[in-house]
Amino acid sequence: MASGQKIPARMTAIAISVPGGPRVLKPETRDVPQPGPGEILIKVHAAGVNRPDVQQRKGAYPPPPGASDLPGLEVSGEVAALGDEISRWRIGDRVCALTPGGGYAEYVKVHSGSVLPLPAGFTHTEAAAVPENYFTVWHNVFERGALKKGETLLVHGGSSGIGTTAIQLASAFGAYVITTAGSKEKCDACLKLGADRAINYREEDFVTAVKEATDGKGATVILDMVGGDYVQRNYEAAAVEGRIVQIAVQAGAVASADFSKIMVKRLTHTGSTLRPRTVEFKAAIAAALEAQVWPLLGTRKVAPVMDMIYPLTDAWRAHERMEEGEHIGKIVLDVG
């Protein structure tokens, strides 16, 4: 293992003491992880907060085999040490990375294929808000959903980290973007980011609104993190040959739906999770992002929307903020 400045043996991390509410997130001292072949050790400066972290804290989303039990799926920082078989990265490189866990800590080890350079001009807190959302949106909207220029994307939860990312990327690549959100403030934020139509789902039926916005055609691609009764409504709102991509089921994983809509409209309903996928799969997404999206980030044509930044030891407050549902964009932990 190659390392630069002296790396301490121990570090501060935020652990889940028992499954439960935000206050179960407790600082503790852990051994600094050691990178193996193909891995790098990152000195973390900032870590993104995501809904899967909340689910893990509650005991509903266990880490995949071999991953850290600490929450945290994305970080930014500096390369502190290199395992064997690393050719691209050097000690001191400023990077951001997708992690299978362990991001709520002063150091984290990550497979090199999930690491990307800091986008030009980005701070560490901004860069920590990029990997989880951009990996997720790129794969699900542009690869699995196959969104193309001139097509219509409906994204539910437009003011979330995923939603704000999907709006910006779809708009940048020439799609017509419709989104749902739960307040006028959130709808206004979505419109400022490039959405062509923002639907307040508390006041409007999104199926009717989507049909009106598309002259009755419906949405070509639907990115859904709701599930539940949205499944049937998505079938109604989708265009002929539409693609519905499921990335979460916040309103429930079980639903009743009229499957004849799939046949009549020739719909595709697919879905995916990112965390348990192979390092090779994630490396392929990273390469596509660096080629297609990093230039847009470098010119600020797209950028993460920042909500709140909390110190690492106040991770419980960040989780409270997320569960309150009032945030617009990303919540980030400042690790130092």
Which class for 335: exposed (0-12), middle (13-18), buried (19 or more C-beta within 10 A)? buried
Tokens for 171, please give them.
């708009």
Residues (pLDDT < 50) of the chain are none
pLDDT given at position 4: 61
Terminal Cα-to-Cα distance of the chain (whole angstroms): 24
Render pLDDT for 61-81 as a digit per residue (tens, 0 to 9). 999 999 999 999 999 999 999
pLDDT tens-place string over residues 203-220? 999 999 999 999 999 999
Buried b / exposed e over 2-41, threshold 16 CB at 10 Å, is eeeeeeeeebbbbbbeeeeebebbeeeebebbebeeebbb
Query: Tell me, what's the pLDDT at 5?
Result: 67
Tokens of 198: 């923002």
pTM: 0.95
Q: Which is it for strands 2-3 and 74-82: parallel, antiparallel or unpaired?
A: antiparallel
Domains, the chain: 8-130+275-332 (3.90.180.10), 144-269 (3.40.50.720)
pLDDT at res. 324: 95
**Can you say whether residue 302 is alpha, beta or left, with left for phi > 0 and alpha for psi between -120 and 50 degrees?**
beta
User: For residue 1, what pLDDT is reported?
Assistant: 65
For the chain, how are helix, strand and coil distributed in percent, rounded to 5?
A: 30, 30, 40
What pLDDT, on the 0 to 100 scale, is given for residue 262? 97
pLDDT, tens digit, for every residue of 154-176? Answer: 999 999 999 999 999 999 999 99
273 Ramachandran zone, left/alpha/beta (phi>0; psi -120 to 50):
beta
Beta bridge partners of residue 16, listed in sequence order = 25
